[in-house]
Amino acid sequence: MATTSIANAISAYNQASKSISNGASSAPDEAGAGLESDFSALLKAGAKTAIEAAKTGEEQSKLAIAGKADIRDVVTAVNNAEVTLQTVVAVRDKVISAYSDILKMPI
């Protein structure tokens, strides 16, 4: 029972990292990408998504300061950036805690 649940957990993390890194980085990365582990690829892809969302939010805010943007667009963009960052941070924390749990495992 215990072994199956651990195997399930590992495959679930594997799947999560794959789905996030596939969803976020559609373009192939630079040459070193193949050598990277799933974990760093996951973090990289997550950070990329968050940065993009934050950039959109900042662009909208800049337009708003200049009085050119619709305030509703600004709110939507900034909200979106906030939620994306929240998601990335939550996933990162979860994955890092899983990692340290594995490291602490007695061999």
Query: Interface residues with another protein (CB under 8 A)?
Result: 70, 72-73, 75-76, 79-80, 83, 86-87, 90-91, 93-94
Q: Tell me the Ramachandran region of residue 36: left when phi exceeds 0, alpha when psi lies from -120 to 50, beta otherwise.
A: beta
Minimal distance, residue 79 CB to another protein, in Å: 6
Cα–Cα distance between 91 and 89 in angstroms, integer? 6
Query: What is the chain's length?
Result: 107
Minimal distance, residue 32 CB to another protein, in Å: 29
Closest CA to 38 of 56, 17, 19: 17
Smaller CB separation from another protein, 11 or 97: 97
Smaller CB separation from another protein, 83 or 102: 83
- Residue 104 has phi, psi (to 5 degrees) of -80, -5
Place of tokens 């909208």: 60
Smaller CB separation from another protein, 41 or 74: 74
Minimal distance, residue 71 CB to another protein, in Å: 9
Smaller CB separation from another protein, 36 or 87: 87
